[in-house]
Structure 1
Amino acid sequence: MNRTASQRFGLCLACFLSLAAQTATAEVDLVKTIVDQPQVWQGQRASFVVQLRSPGPFAGAASFTIPQVARTVIVKIGTPVVSSEQIEGDTWFTQDHEFVLFTQQSGRVEVPEFEVRFGSRDGFTGPVSEQIQKVPPVTFDVQAPPGADELGFLVTTDQIQVSQSWDPQPGKAKVGDVYHRTITQSADQVTGMALAPPPTTVPDGLRIYADSPEVSDRTERGAFSGTRRDRLTYVIQEPGTLTLPAIKYVWWNPKTKQYGSQTLPAATFEVAPPPPVGSTPATRSTFPWQIRIGLAVAAAALLVWQRRRIQMAARRWWQRLNPPTRAARRAVLRAAAANDPVAAETAWLRWQNLQPQPVRTSATLQQAVSELHRQRYGGNAAGTWNGQPLQQAFRDHLTRQERDIDQPDPLPQLNH
């Protein structure tokens, strides 16, 4: 009898200890976030770490569904750091995944919770179980430097290196001459797309053509180094002294808490007048040519006199046919079709910033954008990128968006 009671007591004790161990395991958070520096400047690199925990070794690679935040870029960088720690007397395996973001917002900026999937084992020899967890939200306090509103897109870095080259050099010129200008910017801890574009306004007598910028980034041990290269072409159209004003590049230094700047000097063209046209006797054979010349001069004078009004009308007509949002959509699809991750990310950010309110995207589109960011800043930055998933997911999103706009409201308005 005593032996039976002893066996029952031992069985109950074993069940209690097993239940207590399971309860302790359940109380351990499998996912947590770590933010070392929650206060950052607008446009400055901000980082946070997502730590995954497992009672046994991890299996496979973790997959994150990175959320979309207005006027903000979030990317996962590097490879996870694998380690272990003691929690309530038990050994837990950990993976630390680093994320960085650049935001043009100011004030309280929150990264909402997002999904993570990873495989884990219960002990060294246990079966693999798939974990679907939520990464807790992360909040940053973003401070705008004084006068940041006047600068538009703010660049926050220690220094920007700016250089330029001309072909040929500005100087003496004549009507019809063409000049090529290349401006190169590079900075640490900043993506190339965050560097400012050059001005495209020119004085009367010059015409400018701007190529698409070349943007590149280099990631090494979690550090960013961004480069932007702009190519501009100037065409001389009128004689006289034509001067391109100096270009001042400004950035905010988070260490000194002061603005820094570098200026490219002004460029002046001394354009000689065209040679005088030789006079010819006013005969019956040359009289029609005089009329043509007179009409051409009159038409040119009319165009010069009304050029601003004509330019404004042409600009309004072009914008009506090609609004910025439509151009941004085409740029995303074109870059994805060309498998160009740099152009695709630039176009995606431009389209996102043109939306009147935060965009709700499907899980498929979020995954495609995450793959784009992983290609740009992850460990496989040198590999090829397939833009077809992004192209198809973005087309599906646009189709749903247009369908929602065209769908009539089923309820009539109460007040008229």
Structure 2
Amino acid sequence: MANAAVEATVDRQQVAMGDTLQLVISATEDDEDLGTVSLNTLLTDWEILSRKTSSNTTIVNGKRNHNRQLQIEITPRRPGALIISSFQVGASKTAPVWVNVSKMARVDPGTEAILFEATVDSDSVYVQGQLILTLRLQQAVNLDGRSISDLQLPGAFVVPLEQKSFQRTVSGRPWLVHEVRYAIFPEKSGVLEIPAQSFSARESGPRRSVFDTSRGKLIRLQSKALKIEVLPRPAAYSGSTWLPARNIVVEEEWSTEPEKLRAGESVTRTIRLRGEGLQGAQLPPVLLTTTDGIKHYPDQPTIADAEISTGLLGSRSDSVAIVPTRAGSIELPAVEIPWWDTQTQAMRTAAVPARTLQIMPAANAVTASPVAGNEQLAPGSTADTGQQPLWQWQLATLFCAIGWAFSLLLLLRKGATKNSSQAADDPKTVSPKAAYKSLIAACAADQPSQARKTLIQWAAAIQDNPSITSLNAAGNAMADSELKLELLKLEQALYSSATDLWHGAPLRAAVERLQRLQRSPNSGETDELSLYPSD
């Protein structure tokens, strides 16, 4: 993106001839007028079907954010790798967008007006790598009460993605297409079987009168079952954490310019990891090595997932306060993250290069200039040493005493705030479902520290007991011998130097078993997931 104030995005980057595509031009600055955007360059390869504008204003912490969008529905004029050129919006310009357009989709329904299928983006995937499953419904008639069965894959971690809906024209016949997508992360090598998925709906038609309560014909369809080859971790991979991804980027950010740092001053360094085709929980923590002349004070990491056109984009941010203890030259070693490129089948390394800090002396470090030994003072005279009268020092001492008292009061209030913050992070506030998903992801990524944190949250949520704040308390509350054994192994791994040797699969198996036992038959869960609610 050439300028952060404007942005052009599409809802899909893989389409077929006859499909519609949503192009959105967004602006966040008030002086950017979307009404004046020229779309002439778009007409070469695309046909504009419709356009509309929308706006949204939010105020967060007193800051006003105004977001406006120009939404354009387009369809390609030809197949190939087509580019949507940059749009000039005021003084800003959007980045170009590439879209791959294939030939017209082959739809051979015969006499059928409803089609349902399951497809994957690859016939093979690495263990703990991402596989995209798409359940596609194509309809040429109106339907009511559409629903699909809930996807159940015991040997994999499943993340539902955003549903897509668009129109498709094949041989002059219009179709409405719905796509339900999942990101699937297999947990062991071998063969992953995706069972047949079910779809049901009723045909809708005009009512003969207001008293006509008859329902349309019931439609039930099934997709084909799929078998996926799950590849093991390659022997050529030498990294400590297994990271199969399409791409991994690591970057750093400083709260202030490190070139201006002085001894005793603090600066925050943030290392950000982004993995395409990974969950945020799979990304490893950035462990900064001990450096002479530097003290480190790490903060809690921030882990998140976002959806992009290729699936999931996991991110992790590790922040650490750095305090240099001396002036001079201090070398910060490089940060290197090895990962496996699933596209080229090769090991790669994402890195932040080493950096040399030139630390200046502390701001209060001054050098005294002694009075020459042979300099005599005249009787009754005083040397000009910068000393101040006694009453000024007494006044300064009084102000210092007041300052110390005020600092003590702030510390006491800070302690109370910290306790309130801890209360806000009470495990009880985490839902059992969210805690369970985070725990399973941590086990899948073989991350003992994250597994400890999320297991305590899960146990506290399941037992509705916020006093569970340790692994020992969690094990006692769950009262399961298998779980207690795995928690003991986890505890040993956390307090040993070989945390990279811990494997989360046994703990996950115990947790999944207990999770199934905890489910109530009257919880209100249904076997079917609504595809798109009917009016």
TM-score relative to the length of structure 1: 0.50
Higher relative contact order (CA 8 A, sep 6+): 1
So what's the TM-score if we normalise by structure 2? 0.40
